[in-house]
Amino acid sequence: MKVAIATDHAGREIKLKVIEFLKENNIGIVDLSQVNTPTDDYPDFAFAVCEKVVKNEVDYGILICTTGIGISIAANKVKGIRCANCHSINDAKMTKLDNNANVLAFSSKLDFELIKEIIKTFINTEFSNEERHIRRVDKIIKYENGEYNGL
């Protein structure tokens, strides 16, 4: 498994810890924010990670900013991305089960032990493949492609 990861300046310390955690679990890393400055912009990092995901160069993306909100909004502008800003283990589980999310975002302010559990849950949870969830994800994809016909 290979994961692309990036953060703006606010998440640099946590990102380095996450990279070590992933390496300890034999997960390949593509670090797309090796240099951070106090004036960097989270959309740049979100777009870089998401491009790797949609090109199938990595299995998943991980994004970090102060709240996880801005970076997840930017990520979801990339066609083919379903990014969830997770603050709990249940968030990580449900976004994979129900939404087949391919990018995880979170706040740099979360406790690192919780972050590790969120990442493990996100990576190890499979999409449910339940008809209702397939139908809903398909609607999102169709809308992205300009093919959604509405209600």
DSSP H helices in the chain: 12-24, 42-54, 69-75, 89-99, 112-124, 131-144
Give the span between the Cα atoms of 64 and 129, in whole angstroms: 28
Residue 112 in any domain: the answer is yes
Q: What is the pLDDT of residue 60?
A: 98
Tokens of 34: 């090796």
**pTM, to two decimals:** 0.96
Q: What is the pLDDT of residue 69?
A: 98
pLDDT in tens, 101-125: 999 999 999 999 999 999 999 999 9
pLDDT in tens, 8-37: 999 999 999 999 999 999 999 999 999 999
Residue 149 in any domain: the answer is no
Based on the structure, what is the number of domains in the chain?
1
pLDDT in tens, 70-109: 999 999 999 999 999 999 999 999 999 999 999 999 999 9
Give the span between the Cα atoms of 101 and 16, in whole angstroms: 23
**CATH number of the CATH domain containing 30:** 3.40.1400.10
Q: Which residues is 6 bridged to in the sheet?
A: 63
**Cα–Cα nearest to 112, from 47, 2, 15, 45:** 15
Please, which pLDDT band fits residue 151 given cuts at 50, 70 and 90?
Answer: confident
Average pLDDT, the chain: 97
How much is the CA Rg of the chain, to the nearest whole Å?
15
Instruction: Show the domain range for 33.
Output: 2-144
